[in-house]
Structure 1
Amino acid sequence: MTLLAERTTTDAAADLEAAEVAVVPTGSTEQHGPALPLGMDHMAAQAFARSAADREDTVVLPTIPVGVSVHHRQFDGTLYVSAETFEQYVEETIASLAEHGVRKAVVVNGHGGNSGALRRAARTLRDEETAFAPPWNWWDSVEDVAADLFDEDGGHADAMESSLLWHIRDDLVQPDELEAAEAGASESWGESVHGAALGFDTIDFSESGAVGRPTQADPEKGEALFEAGADQLDALLDWLAAQPLEDCWARAHK
């Protein structure tokens, strides 16, 4: 496995020279209701990232476990940093990798709250022609599969997330708590009054911290999600590895 953190500096020199693209897993440490652990998001990102570790053209970076999660702060155990701090941390981490010659990366993201910061970091890295690092949200890659498996709008600690973690870390899921999670859950993310979004924090619309129907969770469904997502990530890495770096930069103004 080409896991950068487990290599010596001597071994890393050869790994980085051979690498066309890096994988950077990011997530969060935040509440996921009574049935799932706080590390759900970064564990999911790490699992997907490590599915690419056997590729000879790919190097996998250490997981960034704390993200933009201030909206979960009323629930015990939630950790968070500001969007600005997270954006800068990811940007500078990828920039440091670029100094070693790897200037294309996929940011495997496990937490929706990180998305805005990751897009901004990717834009800065591209505009400065430091690196090309598009974010990849695992749930976006399996939308069709999830639609076939679950009857929910979902959004957080739902059947999709519960199923995925049940597959990759069954020791951390508490199936007996799925009913409690659903009893206090909202049907969809947020709260709207006459078209205005008022659900600033999760607790504004979910008593359990969950959103969706987690009782539909099943580890076999989680396996289907993971395999589908891993295939999508592998295809994305194939595409990015084949792209000439000069084709990745922003086009000049006409």
Structure 2
Amino acid sequence: MPTLATKSSPDSAEAIERAEVAVLPTGSTEQHGPALPLGMDHYAARAFAQEAATDDAVLALPTIPVGVSPHHMQFDGSLTVSPETFAAYVRETIESLATHGLRKVIVVNGHGGNIDALSQVARELRASETAYAPTWNWWDAVEDLADDLFDEAGGHADAAESSLVWHLHEEYVDPDALEAAEADGADAWGERVHGANVGFDTIDFTESGAVGKPTQASPEKGEQLFDEAATALSALADWLAERPIDDCWQRAHK
């Protein structure tokens, strides 16, 4: 598959010239309860990006593995950077690619905490007409399927995430710990009092770090989720590849 990091400098020039769209995986390295690996989010993003890069039209960029995760820092092993640092890293990575001529990028995101920063980056890159870089979150692409497969509100290290990473990296999942993750977890994200969210950190509402019903997970369900989301990402890449770059910029009000 066309992956920028595996190319030599001369070969990368040819790959960038052939490509219509780049995919940039972003995620996190943070707690996902006692059953799942810290790298869940960036493993998922990388897998989707690599699956999308099946021909010369889509070029996969290296994965950004640490994201905006301050709300998980009470749990061992979690890493985080500030939204400003994360946004600058993503923006400058895309800017550097744009200098070589590839200006359409899909940010394949695996972590909800990154969304605000990525939205800011996308607006800035578009306003300057440097690059067009919408964010794609895999869970948005499988919302209906997840509703059919699982009986949960979802949130974090839930049945959907557990199933997906179980399918992608069985060797990193401890199925025997899924029951404890659920028993000491929460049914839904956050904690609300009289309409206000008072659960600022994950530890405020879940002892295990999990939110949802991870005992409903299976690798077979994970394969269904992966296939559904990968199909959606491929369709998005096709759409963006066919869209002229001039049609991606901000329009003046008439």
TM class, shorter-chain normalised?
A: over 0.9
2:216 alignment counterpart: 216
1:79 alignment counterpart: 79
**Percentage identity across aligned positions?**
67
Mapped partners of 1:239, 1:184: distance in 2: 43
Q: TM-score, normalised by structure 1?
A: 0.99
2:65 alignment counterpart: 65
Amino acid across the alignment from 1:232: A
Count of residue pairs brought into register by the alignment = 254
Mapped partners of 2:208, 2:129: distance in 1: 44
SS state at 2:52 partner: coil
Mapped partners of 1:27, 1:92: distance in 2: 17
Q: TM-score, normalised by structure 2?
A: 0.99
2:29 alignment counterpart: 29
SS state at 1:252 partner: coil
Deviation per residue, 1:211-230 (Å, 9 max, x gap): 00000000000000000000
Amino acid across the alignment from 2:22: A
2:5 alignment counterpart: 5
2:187 alignment counterpart: 187
Mapped partners of 2:221, 2:54: distance in 1: 24
SS state at 2:25 partner: strand
Amino acid across the alignment from 1:13: A
1:1-254, aligned counterparts within 5 Å?
Answer: 1-254=1-254
Offset, 1:165: 0.4
Relative to structure 2, which stretch is displaced further, 50-59 or 90-99?
Answer: 50-59
Offset, 1:56: 1.6
Offset, 1:114: 0.2
Ranges in structure 2 where 5+ consecutive residues have no aligned partner: none
Mapped partners of 1:253, 1:128: distance in 2: 17
SS state at 1:155 partner: coil
Mapped partners of 1:48, 1:21: distance in 2: 14
Offset, 1:122: 0.3
Offset, 1:55: 2.0
Mapped partners of 1:82, 1:124: distance in 2: 18
Offset, 1:253: 3.4
Mapped partners of 2:10, 2:132: distance in 1: 26
